[in-house]
Amino acid sequence: MLKVCFTQLIRTRNMSIFIQCLNPLIGTVNWEEKDENYDYHQEVARSAFADMLHDHERNQKYYLALKAAIEKKHKDGEEANVLDIGTGTGLLSMMAARCGADSITACEAFTPMAKCAIKIIQENGFEDKIKLIHKRSTRMTIGKDGDMIKKANILVTEVFDTELIGEGALSTFRHAHENLLEENSIVIPHSATIWVQVVESPTVCSWNTVHPIQNKSKYLLSTPCSVKSCSGAAAVHDIQLTQFPDNAFKPLLPPQPIFRFDLSGKSTLLYNEKKCLHIKPTTSGTAHAIFMWWDLVMDVNNEVLLSSAPVWEHPDTKILQNKGLSLQEIADVIPWRDHWMQAIYYLPVETLVTVNKEVSLIGYHDEYSLWFQLINESINEAPDCERPVCSCNVHVAYCRTRIGQLNDHIRNEKYIKALEKEVTPDTVCLCLSDGSLLSLAAIQLGAKKIFILETNFLSRKCIEMFVKTNELSERVEIVESVNDLPPENAINLIFGEPYFITSIVPWENLYFWYLVSRYSPQIQRIPIAATIMGVIVEFKDLHKIRAPLGICEDFDLSIFDKLIQTSSDKSDSSVEAQPLWEYPAKALSLPFVIKKFDLTQNVNESENINISESVPILTSGMCNGVALWVDWQLNSEITVSSGPTVEVQFGKRISWDPFTRQGVHLFKDITQVTQQSTVLWSFSFVPRYGNITFDFRILSKNMK
């Protein structure tokens, strides 16, 4: 069971600690005893260094640039004195040592990684060549008694995120040039470019604004003007764009380089810039959003390029297409990254553009963030524009996945159809879900009154806004606490989607069951059942986020593997939540039922559940994970799934619901399986405490 743990703690005599943890399944906060270093282990386990280090292309291109820089300094009769900022495991510093650098200073502020790097450097025999400084580069000193005796003349660093500048890259490079580097130093990478592409995509819009709810041709619920006009969330929407269906968007403008950053120090990096591009659209349409990615020129000769572009714009795509590869085949070849994805930026105003009629695309950035606007004319001077922030509360109260779920018309139609079967003019409904607009649609279907439980302040404000816009105040009563729920004789239908803000994995929405169990089973309920499902899979890439490194670029990083695994064992659940539509997976088995719950019976009538069974592998492959989801049975005829959108076929790629996150168990050891293999699984549920646990084990044909 995944729990949200709060920072408040009590330390005991034996140095263990008690931490407040929210159990989202039963909605209670409990004190749990943890290892005294629990926060430390959580931070280490979630640091995501491994995914980055599995990126062979990234590693190799850094190595090529380092080799060229060191050789150039030596060719010019200079020493090669390298500074590695944010060294992590020390990989880049060890590469510099292998390339013959005269001195190497590595700095790392993250304490567990700094300690780990020291051990790795020693294990690989470079302790005499690399000096590690445990502090931020902005606090390093130069001089006889300083962190470095003299300034470096080669800088290598990887301080980039999906947004390029979100981790403080600009200030890191700027401070290094001003304080830590000699003039004419070589910097790796040498420069960076941010690329943008304006697109039309109703699918993309569904993640950003709430659309009206319709039933056939009738509007059941209108969207408040404040939601329609809101700029959206300030946080970047990072996404695996290569997995975004090519028929779900239409490019309106060709990709454009909008910001170029000279990292070499020849010009000062600015913290605040705006750039206006005048471009002629290649297609007419409505501009909804901007796709963004970036690339790095690694060396001074502009020969080594590292790109985070999606497959259709990746610099290697044309080369591979000329070799006869399809776009899908190329997607399997282009390096996969989870540490650097692409991003979507939502335009503050939807703008009509006409082919060949020039428009003005304006980009802005501060020290850490990017934002954009599009004007349907050519302008001489770009206007100032503040960074967008949510003004309607919707984008703060709900994640983008939930907003997309609210706009899923197929899903909505199923709920409306189920409600239509139960709602009469005498219906008084109680809704037990967060931010449920479908509950308001029940009023429009003819219900007499509806009570809505909204314990989250921001979600409550959003529902109040929709109630006011649709003039439903006289028939809607919002309840702020579970202790103030209406009495049993006041309602005759209980409805839930179910969705709760505190839920992380799908089955945590069974909190609905605990809430509805406050009432008699005689009251009609929607949904009537929930089934936890699973399928054994071969992930193409997702497993790399937890896979051990072992030998990485001919360096032994097994010490790092042990650090991550130890911390993960102490702090992580065996199942995590992931949006699986972004991560290709092949089914190695057919879907199997783990447990079906009858929601028409109260949870307190359920006994403890312990199940152990096996599922056969039906096709050979590399077994590296199990995908889990919940099917919600609304009535005897209608089911809403948070899992596959089409029938699963073993040996084929699975198509996943894009508006929920599924549960994922990743095996520590990846195993080659055949049709003689099975996966043993066990499931336990303790209703009283809301504890759900899973366990999975691969049993190959030679095992007993």
Tokens representing residue 128 in the block = 């005499």
Q: Is 605 a catalytic residue?
A: no
Task: Please name which of 487, 478, 498, 457 lies closest in space to residue 603, comparing C-alpha atoms.
Answer: 498
CB 147 within 8 A of CB 140: yes
3-state secondary structure of 99: coil
**Contacts (Cβ under 8 Å, ≥6 apart) of 667:** 543, 623, 624, 625, 626, 696, 698
Cα gap 90→49, rounded to integer Å: 11
Tokens representing residue 423 in the block = 């709602």
For residue 356, count CB atoms less than 10 angstroms from its CB and return exposed for 0-12, middle for 13-18, buried for 19 or more.
exposed
CB 89 within 8 A of CB 131: no
According to DSSP, the residues that pair with 257 across neighbouring strands are 195
Please report how many Cα atoms fall inside a 13 Å half-sphere around the Cα of residue 107, on the Cβ side. Answer: 21
Q: Read out DSSP for 490-546?
A: G-SEEE-----TT--SGGGGGHHHHHHTTS-TTSEEES-EEEEEEEEEEESSGGGGT
CB 198 within 8 A of CB 287: yes
For helices 38-45 and 111-123, the axis angle rounded to 10 degrees is 70
Question: What are the backbone dihedrals phi and psi of residue 152, each rounded to the nearest 5 degrees, phi first?
Answer: -85, 160
Alpha helices in 236-393 (DSSP H): 317-322, 327-333
Cα gap 402→506, rounded to integer Å: 12
Q: Is 613 a catalytic residue?
A: no
Cα 208 from chain centroid (whole Å)? 16
Kindly name the residue from 57, 78, 123, 167 that is annotated as catalytic.
Answer: 167
In eight-state DSSP terms, residue 108 is -
Residue 183 carries which side chain, given as an amino acid letter?
E
H or E segment and range at residue 94: helix 91-98
In eight-state DSSP terms, residue 488 is G
Cα gap 67→451, rounded to integer Å: 68
Cα gap 594→575, rounded to integer Å: 14
Kindly name the residue from 158, 163, 200, 538 that is annotated as catalytic.
Answer: 158
Residues acting as catalytic residues = 158, 167
